[in-house]
Amino acid sequence: MATTSLVSWNVNGIRAVVKKGFTDFLKKEKPDVLCLQEVKINDSARDKETFDFQNYTEYWNSAQKPGYAGTAILVSEKLAQPIITNGLGITEFDSEGRVQTAEFENFFLVNAYFPNTRHDLSRLDFKLKFDNALLYHIKKLEKKPVILTGDLNVAHEEIDLANPKENDGNPGFHPEERKWMTKFLKAGFVDTFRFLYPKKVQYSWWSYRFGARRRNVGWRIDYFCISDKLKKQLKQAEILDKVIGSDHCPVRVVIGDR
């Protein structure tokens, strides 16, 4: 049975991660599709770089602000190339390069970098507005199954972060953020990792402070969520927490043919 391997990674700066083994990771893992978030490079800056992403077609969606946010999708040249649409049609989100939609033959893939609400929650309303706009966008795509991936900037349940009690109400674990995640899943989607591993404790992001990664004081905020109708085709969901290069690690799913 043919399968499709999809990887997502918040690289916290593509120029930085390329210096930390990113190309070796790409050559070793050979994902069919690699979704990136927080690439932190605009078009003019990228023109000055020479990235060695052999055998992949690159699709970029940069933020207008230099060195900030942005997304990208790398698609293996072995695949039929998708139709790519950048943005949601809402300027305040699209100017930050937060969403890409790729239409493949059998599914839509949405690569998203969700806003961080900031330590003072000053962007909570902005994030919730983004959340709802994205859900509206995804529901419109459902003529085909949908795969949503990216840094959702929320730990959904207490099992998804090391210190839930201390972080209750904090950015990424605020009740309103968690409530939206519940609403999203109830709208017909499956958190692939939690579906396959209901009780497994594993994280995808660690603060750079206080040796958090070494001590594994982390959060699971990077996801692959799929339409319910894809559940039977889900072969694998992994958090690649041994891969370094960013404060996030990559996450992966493998989807089989029908």
Options 113, 131, 137, 174, the catalytic residue: 113
Q: How far apart are CA 98 and CA 252, in angstroms?
A: 20
Do the Cβ atoms of 210 and 226 come closer than 8 Å?
no
Q: How far apart are CA 45 and CA 211, in angstroms?
A: 32
Q: What is the DSSP string of 39-75?
A: ----HHHHTT-----TTEEEEEE--SSTTS--EEEEE
Task: For residue 228, give both structure tokens.
Answer: 């319910």
Say whether 10 counts as a known binding-site residue: yes
Say whether 106 counts as a known binding-site residue: no
Residues 6+ apart with CB under 8 A from 78: 32, 55
Do the Cβ atoms of 7 and 34 come closer than 8 Å?
yes
- Indicate if 174 belongs to the active site: no
Say whether 216 counts as a known binding-site residue: no
Say whether 61 counts as a known binding-site residue: no
How many C-alpha atoms does 249 have within 13 Å on its Cβ side? 19
Options 151, 160, 191, 222, the catalytic residue: 151
Q: For residue 36, which of 18, 49, 50 has the smallest C-alpha distance?
A: 18
For the chain, strand residue ranges (E) read 3-10, 33-37, 56-61, 71-76, 83-86, 99-103, 108-113, 146-151, 189-191, 205-206, 218-219, 222-227, 234-239, 251-256
Say whether 86 counts as a known binding-site residue: no
Supply φ then ψ for residue 48, to 5 degrees: -90, -5
Residue found under tokens 């690569």: 111
- Indicate if 119 belongs to the active site: no
- Indicate if 223 belongs to the active site: no
Say whether 137 counts as a known binding-site residue: no
Which residues are annotated as part of the binding site?
A: 10, 38, 151, 153, 247-248
Active-site residue list: 113, 151, 248
Which residues are annotated as part of the binding site for Mg(2+)?
A: 10, 38, 151, 153, 247-248
